[in-house]
Copies of this chain bind each other. A is one copy, B any other.
């Protein structure tokens, strides 16, 4: 087979380790220069392909690519831009192929979640229909841990380690203050539909009575009275109560609590922030002093406390994607396969993109205790291996030294433009 170029793009919300995967892709491609010419990255994700705004990663020195391994965010830019149905929006897909053809791109690596798996699958179909030889490989990434088939998602283990560590640390703080001050602490975490990140908070509670005492999952409808009763009881028994709550918590009508009508002084609806809402409840109904935190982007960018397991897996899927592509495997995605939990052993397997596209893996009900407020032992056994090990970034001037790439543009070859 002849030597052709590769296209790599980051898609959707970024993670602390999506660049680790990019590092795996680029370093592995550089080792196979007889098959893969240059790796072009899409500036701001797939938009870069549509607008022929490509980044020439071959201009980056090896040390810069190596530094991607420990740099959070998306080094080439990402985007929230979903390619629609193949038939209604055929022009988008044809444009992709036009750009790929102009730059002799024979390999398409799309690093993202459910939507991206869907897009990769559609691109592989259109390429085949148009008779354009293109190997399409999806590369998994999402803090939400909701991709089908794979045992876990690259990016999730590091968020899990961050939230479990943070809620443990804050709980040590609250425990010391509870006599005269804060008795209830609420940490809001990500995961709009699936409670995986909320569940990870539960890892901090190793023994009966350990914090966090209460978790509120998006899978369990919020019941105000039961919640308040549980917090009240915990404060009475333990002196304080720590709560981990999903941003996606819903009320009995299925409506997000965070959208349930918080208004500022001017009457504007204030979006986001289920933690302050719950804190107000605790104050008004239980008369307890509270504190709340919203970790937001801090949790998914916290490379300084990445899970080593996650870093290794994030790199491994990037490497495997390139190796699959070289073997001509198209329409697939490397996935994490768990061989055993204790001791934890994993390997990289291969899944069909069509089995992953547009699926959403929710928490199994038996990962949540019967009362809906905590995780079960089964859940702990699943989660615990994913946060194992530390993988610290280098520091400079006391702060993590993250890389910013040059991101040199590939000269355009097409005279045409494409409107996003």
Pick from A87-95, A128-136, A364-372, A391-399 the stretch touching chain B.
A391-399
Contact A173 B301 (CB under 8 A): yes
Contact A180 B44 (CB under 8 A): yes
Contact A172 B72 (CB under 8 A): yes
Contact B268 A176 (CB under 8 A): no
Kindly identify which residue among B79, B173, B174, B291 contacts A181, using a CB–CB cutoff of 8 Å. B79
CB<8 Å pairs between A and B, sample of 27 = A72-B169, A77-B175, A77-B178, A79-B181, A165-B304, A166-B302, A168-B399, A169-B301, A169-B303, A169-B304, A169-B402, A170-B298, A260-B265, A262-B270, A263-B265, A264-B277, A270-B277, A276-B276, A291-B297, A293-B295, A293-B296, A295-B295, A309-B398, A384-B397, A384-B398, A387-B399, A388-B397
A275 to B275, CA, bound (A): 13
Copies in the complex: 2
Which chain B residues lie closer than 8 Å to A298 at the CB level? 166, 169-170, 187, 293, 295, 298
Which chain B residues lie closer than 8 Å to A177 at the CB level? 13-14, 74, 78-80
Question: Does A253 have its Cβ within 8 Å of any Cβ on chain B?
Answer: no
Question: Does A75 have its Cβ within 8 Å of any Cβ on chain B?
Answer: yes
Residues of A with Cβ closer than 8 Å to B?
Answer: 10, 13-14, 16, 44-45, 47, 71-81, 161, 164-166, 168-182, 185, 187, 203-204, 206, 260-265, 268, 270-273, 275-277, 279-280, 283-284, 291-298, 300-305, 307, 309, 384, 386-390, 392, 395, 397-400, 402
A412 to B6, CA, bound (A): 76
Contact A293 B284 (CB under 8 A): no
Contact B400 A168 (CB under 8 A): yes
Contact B296 A292 (CB under 8 A): yes
Kindly identify which residue among B73, B185, B284, B389 contacts A297, using a CB–CB cutoff of 8 Å. B185
